[in-house]
Copies of this chain bind each other. A is one copy, B any other.
Amino acid sequence: MEPSEQPDPDAAYRRGALDLLGILAYGALAAFDRLAEDARLAPTLADKVHMASMAAHQVSHFERVKARLAEFDVDVMAAMTPFHEPFNTFHDYTRPKDWPEGLVKAYVGDGIGADFYREVAAFVDAETRALVHEVLADEGHADFVVDRVRAAILTDPRLAGRLALWGRRLVGEALSQAQRVAADREALTSLLTGTVDRPGLDLAAVSRMFSRLIDNHTRRMAALGLQA
């Protein structure tokens, strides 16, 4: 904020909401990339079609978020800029080396991200919130992943140990990038924690939020037959 500006709770709120939309837009593009890469690893053409169609959905999510940002008179390219680096770093550090790792990343990694964005969305305007929920809706991908990962573990039981480690690594890397974003983007963080003029979550509520995120993560790992 420029020193001459007066603190304006609406402006701060707006910056936080725009950050959330920027994250969703860049997250959708990054997910497109990754799903298209996973499609290439797919063992059957039917699996490839499924992944390609998931990737295409990400582009339509991107378009929806872009349209919403345009209603705020904000260019999607500008809104995404602060999030290139954390997302790219996350993806560079967590390159799936085969099809099951790609599936687990799509389900477990995107799952914890989506849960967190929904928590933040509780603090933005109703229209933006509805868009966030719509963009993050599952669209049957979870069932597909659970089915394929369980089948892969049945075929090769040793996979379970490697994928359980992989799941923990994904969460670790995701948290490390999330902390970086939280430190850099005060407006986004203050959506959750509130400001002098606008109450947010107190410490107990933040801790309950983390419990919810971890519970959901554990539930997803269990659905895959993996230990969290």
Contact = CB atoms under 8 A, between A and B. Distances in A.
A152 interface: no
A52 B59 contact: yes
Interface stretch (A32-40, A163-171, A174-182): A32-40
Copies of this chain present in the complex amount to 2
A32 B80 CA distance: 24
B40 A33 contact: yes
Interface residues on A, range: 20 to 34
Contacts of A52: 29, 32-33, 59, 62
Interface stretch (A41-49, A126-134, A138-146, A197-205): A41-49
Contacts of A29: 45, 48-49, 52
Interface string A60-78: 1011000000000000010
Given A36-B33, A39-B33, A59 B55 contact: yes
A211 interface: no
A84 B80 CA distance: 38
A77 B33 contact: no
